[in-house]
Amino acid sequence: MGVMRLFPTFEPVETVLASLADALDAIDVGIVLLNHDLHVQFINRRFAEIWAGPPELLVKDTSFRMLLEYTATNVQFSVPAAELPAYLNNREAAVRASAVSATEIDLRDGRRLLFRSSPCSGGRILTYNDITTLKRNQEMLHEVRETAERTMVEQRFSAEMLEGQAAYLASLAETADENARQAAVANQRLEHEIAERRQLEVELRRLATTDALTGTLNRAQFLLLAGHGFERARQHDQAMAVLMLDIDYFKRINDSYGHFIGDEMLKHFVALLRGGMRNGDLLGRLGGEEFAVVLPETDSQAGFMVAERLRARVAATPLIHGDHSIGITVSIGLATAGVDDRTIEQTLARADAMLYAAKANGRNQVHPAAATSAARQ
């Protein structure tokens, strides 16, 4: 039995292929499609951006080996020159032989890529994901944790020394006044060190649970807290609504105004969402311009009202930057925790499906609409 292609359309094949090519150009992962001879059938825009690939790479009969040799010459792998031929041979042989699991590739310019190769219709599909920022953030967090551990060890050592000094000073009755002064100074220093440690612990907790750019919950912490809320709702038989939100055509903002304005727009968008939410609602950034909201004790009708209010608030409030007024809209998918849901991920998956329906129906809308949502309750 063949694999069913999920293309709910009667448009010509050329139109569908063009749409697929546009979609692959829109994602933030470099993609190369190879045939069974390892010759290039498709390269998306992100791959060309990562490797600064010229149009000459897209001519007929371009091979995977030609791509390797171009990148080795123009971008340069972080491999000694004497080892480079063997490195290229091994890369080509691994892709030709079978699938290649996630492998990190270091480049001379400091970037780090995550590479995968998977079988695809007799050929291979290669993906390249730039994880430089992620790796640097992980290294920074590791350094912060090591600093915190060293600080705690030093504080324990300092505390033991201070306790010994206090006992010794107490035994010197003839210098009681001086001893008292030194003890007070030592106590202040210890209190200061304890306060610094607590502040460091708070900062470590914040780094581990929030999105660095927007200040929202990061994906892992959002799923953890949303899961707790889902279990509470099931135990107390309470309604719970989930929203999946995606900024419409966000890539155009980055392309037109630059990534700095794109980052400012994400922070502006989060501020608008928070202004329309309750204190007990959860807001998390799941990745890129995609966010999720959990609304406890909220049925589908109330959830639709909240979603529509957020949609209208975003559409009516552009970002003002210098002389520019930059407007955005948002598509929202709505779902409520159903009796058949066993995990929050199932509810989120249905909300995500509604989000795609909202985008397919023209964007800048909530799906399902209030009447449809009520019917499903």
Cis amide leading into 368 (omega within 30): yes
Cα dist. 93→41, 63, 87 in Å?
Answer: 19, 13, 10
Sheet holding 100-106: strands in order across? 40-43, 30-34, 123-130, 112-120, 100-106
Distance CA 128, CA 4 (A): 27
Distance CA 39, CA 144 (A): 46
Give one DSSP letter per residue of 74-128, joined into a string: HT-BSS-GGGHHHHHHHHHHHHHHS-EEEEEEEBTTS-EEEEEEEEETTEEEEEE
Cβ distance 358 to 365 under 8 Å? yes
Confirm whether 289 is a catalytic residue: yes
Q: Which amino acid is at 193?
A: E
Q: Which of 146, 289, 308, 345 is catalytic?
A: 289
Q: At what angle do helices 300-315 and 259-275 cross, to 10 degrees?
A: 140
Q: Which two tokens stand for residue 161?
A: 């020394």
Q: What is the CA radius of gyration of the chain?
A: 28
Reference 359, options 330, 322, 317, 327; nearest CA is 330
Helix %, strand %, coil % of the chain (to 5): 55, 20, 25
Catalytically annotated residues: 289
